[in-house]
Amino acid sequence: MITMNGMLAQAYNIYLAAIILHVVAVIFSFILCRVRNEKFDFKQKPMWIYLGGIVGVFITMANNLSFGKISMTSIIALGLFGQILFSIFIDIFGLFKMPKRKIHKSMVITFLFALLGILLMLDNTVLNARLAILYSFGAGILVVLNRTINARLAEKIGALPSSFVNHLVGLPITIIIAFFVFYNTPSLMSVQLSLEPFIYLGGIFGVTVVYLSNITVYKLSAFKLTIFTFVAQLFTGIALDMLMGLNISDASFNGGILISLGVLINIILEKRANDKTAKQIEIRKQVLKMEEEHFNRINARYFQKENEQ
């Protein structure tokens, strides 16, 4: 999705690209909502749960500003780093009324593997592009913020309508930003229509991503959701590159393998911990059952003696 949006920004400019992205997303999500007979509700409280679309605009802008300044691999790595750090804060402190979750040892291991994977994915392009680094890192933080706000809205009105509202709210913001930019720099208006259909699909994928995150955000910790989403996106991207005959970045592949290894270790350790907990619960149940049976036998003997007397 980042690649498509970046190509769209190169074909036009980041401001027109943001408008096109949101128009496509609004139309696509609206059609889906109509097909599924979903209802729209703009009266839920608190009102800040409708602001995810504004955050989404700045995510798009930040990624587009980074695109071409540093490598795609570095954009992904820095964005992931921002997502991980903010996800941990949300899990620990229960920000935005999300469930508080304990940070287990297995998650610390996953974090360390993720950090090593991120370092592997960074390259020399980040040495002379400080602003692009900040944009990519900030975009990662905003991704988690956007995901959390949309999840709160989805809890009130549904996952798909929340995705529609997210892009609908963002659309006028992109238009306002573009208006002021074009007013001061009219030359940016001189663009040619691109006939490459692939670059216009970012809005459709954006709707899908928001919808899926709305469904899963309450089922997993913010940290786990960030890591799992990244691994899925990375290897989907690698698969697509292979199908299209494109070169696969060694840094992306090696970093992804390392992060995936951390996820695998996390799953194994959590399974062991859950099995141990389940075993302890089962033993406790058996002990309680034995105590109850022993108590019943003592009572039975007592009443038997009473009757004999």
Range with the poorest average pLDDT among 89-93, 181-185, 188-192: 188-192
> Is 247 within the bounds of a domain?
yes
Assess if residue 104 is contained within a domain.
Answer: yes
Q: Is residue 309, in this structure, part of any structural domain at all?
A: no
CA dihedral 131, 137, 139, 141 (to 10 degrees): -140
What span, in angstroms and rounded, lies between the C-alpha atoms of 286 and 278?
12
pLDDT confidence tier of residue 83, bands split at 50, 70 and 90: very high
pLDDT above 80 (res 263): yes
| Residue partners of 265: CB distance under 8 A and separation at least 6 | 106, 109, 110, 113
**Residue 265 near residue 109, CB atoms below 8 Å:** yes
**Residue 173 pLDDT greater than 90, yes or no:** yes
What's residue 168's pLDDT? 93
Rounded Cα gap, residues 247 and 92, in angstroms: 40
Whether the Cβ atoms of residue 149 and residue 55 lie closer than 8 Å to each other: yes
Q: CB-hemisphere CA count at 13 Å for 213?
A: 32
Q: What is the mean pLDDT of residues 146-171?
A: 91
Residue 39 lies in a domain: yes
21-25, long-range: CB within 8 Å, 24+ apart, which pairs? 21/60, 21/174, 21/202, 21/203, 21/206, 22/57, 22/167, 22/170, 22/171, 22/174, 22/203, 23/171, 23/203, 24/200, 24/201, 24/202, 24/203, 24/204, 25/163, 25/167, 25/203, 25/204, 25/206, 25/207
| Mean pLDDT of the region 167-190 | 88
pLDDT surpassing 70 at residue 200: yes
- Supply the pLDDT for residue 165: 93
- pLDDT at 240 (0 to 100): 64
Question: 219, 78 in Cβ contact below 8 A?
Answer: no
Residue 291 inside a domain? The answer is no
Does residue 247 have a pLDDT over 80?
Answer: no
Cα distance between residue 242 and residue 239, in whole Å = 5
The answer to whether residue 300 sits within a structural domain is: no
- In a domain, residue 107? The reply is yes
> Whole domain around residue 14: which residue ranges?
2-283
In the DSSP assignment, the letter for residue 39 is: P
The letter for the amino acid at 129 is: A
Number of domains in the chain: 1
pTM for the structure as a whole: 0.76
Tell me what pLDDT residue 72 has: 73
181 occurs within a structural domain: yes
Closest CA relative to residue 264, chosen from 297, 231, 223: 231
Helices (H), 94-158: 105-121, 130-157
Question: What single-letter amino acid sits at 4?
Answer: M
Residue 303: its H or E element: helix 250-308
Determine how many CB atoms are found less than 10 A away from the CB of residue 249. Answer: 19
Share of the chain above pLDDT 70, in %: 94
